[in-house]
Structure 1
Amino acid sequence: MTSSKVISPSKLAHVVLRTNSDNFKTMVNFYKIFLGGQATYENDFLSFITYDDEHHRIAIAGVPGTGPKTLKTSGLEHIAFTFDTLDDLVKAYTQRKEHNIFPIWSVNHGPTTSIYYADPDGNQLETQVDNFDNLEDANAFMTSSEFAENPIGVEFDPEDLIKRLQSGEDVAAIRKRPNIGPRSMPVDA
């Protein structure tokens, strides 16, 4: 048995989502809007969607006979997308609202400020911004007793976040997670 570390990939390239044939077009349209993306290739059962320098970040496959997603089984919990600034995060939130795409949860985890959504199949999507200016500070927070006490985070209202940003409040103060004491995983999660 070897103890050498396996070489890490240089990046995560894409995620493929399976949907049923009837929901294929709805899912494709949702992701094009949600990501501000476009298809690099698409037919009646496959769509390869990109929004950046990768040829596709999300692929959607419409597979006949695919059943509905259930939240009580093992599997992928969510896909996370990072924005550069809080302003960009809330601008995307506002733009999505214009397309009737509304969040299901908004939380300051500590390392990130995050707004979560669900796609038409119920897959969860996290949009986030890093709260620390460097990896060392983020890692230090994640190894702190404060994070161990509450690894989930503190909910917030995105509309309040927008008001705080528009009022000129210091961004560092907005990014700092309030300390609410112990919190654990909800039983019905």
Structure 2
Amino acid sequence: MAETHNSADPTKPSERIAVPDRLAHIVLRTGAKRTLMDWYATVLGAHIVFENAFIGFLTYDEEHHRIAVIEEPNLEASAQPTAGLHHVAFTYLNLQDLLQTYSRLKAVGIRPAHAINHGPTTSLYYRDPDGNSVELQIDNFASAAEAAEAAAWFASDAFAINPIGVDFDPEDLLARFQAGVPLSDLTRRAEIGPRGLPVR
């Protein structure tokens, strides 16, 4: 059945700026498609929806695909650092899910390169087999009631002084979570003053 639409002329000027409904997917190119697809399937709990000799698609939810991987022979490894995309991020529903993922990946030898409490998020950064940075995170201000608090954080002096965040030990966070430390304490960012980007 055809989708209905309103009668507004999309070519006419409007005060409303149309914005994307959601971020749909990422596409990676590699010389080792199967290795990369297996890594994302493991890390994200994704499944392959299609694969042939030169491309594969994976998803972890109702979307038809969230990640595509293209095989391009004879690619050279990119020099680090280089201009381009820094990382992609995936949000989990809660800290329990994030820590469960951390533990599951640790058990198969996949460990985060960095763990940072940014203030608005608690984040684990991984490297895929091609060296791309992948962030697994939770929103520290997750509820609708906390949305204003999250927005205010970006305008705070603490964020202006240190917009990157504070490193943490995932094992320590896991132990404190298991000990029943309140969520507000687990996700509260310590203040350490100015800092730069983590070393790649």
Shared topology, TM-score over 0.5? yes
Give the deviation of 1:24 after TM superposition: 1.4
Distance across 2 between alignment mates of 1:28 and 1:105: 22
Distance across 2 between alignment mates of 1:3 and 1:73: 39
Counterpart position of 1:179: 191
Distance across 1 between alignment mates of 2:65 and 2:20: 17
Give the deviation of 1:135 after TM superposition: 2.2
In structure 1, what residue type is equivalent to 2:58? I
Counterpart position of 1:137: 149
Distance across 2 between alignment mates of 1:6 and 1:120: 39
Distance across 1 between alignment mates of 2:77 and 2:189: 36
Identity of matched residues, %: 46
Counterpart position of 2:83: 74
Counterpart position of 2:5: none
Q: Secondary structure at the match of 2:89?
A: strand
Give the deviation of 1:28 after TM superposition: 1.0
Q: Which runs of 5+ in 2 are unaligned?
A: 1-12
Greater radius of gyration (CA): 2
Give the deviation of 1:43 after TM superposition: 1.1
Give the deviation of 1:65 after TM superposition: 2.3
Counterpart position of 1:127: 136
Q: Secondary structure at the match of 2:153?
A: helix
In structure 2, what residue type is equivalent to 1:147? F
Counterpart position of 2:126: 117
Q: CA RMSD in A?
A: 1.6
Runs (4 or more) in structure 1 with deviation over 2 Å come to 2-6
Task: Tell me the matched-pair count.
Answer: 185
Give the deviation of 1:13 after TM superposition: 0.2
Distance across 2 between alignment mates of 1:116 and 1:95: 15
Q: Secondary structure at the match of 1:117?
A: strand
Q: TM-score, normalised by structure 1?
A: 0.92
- Counting only pairs closer than 5 Å after superposition, residues 9-158 of structure 1 correspond to structure 2 as 9-20=20-31, 23-132=32-141, 133=143, 134-158=146-170
In structure 2, what residue type is equivalent to 1:174? L
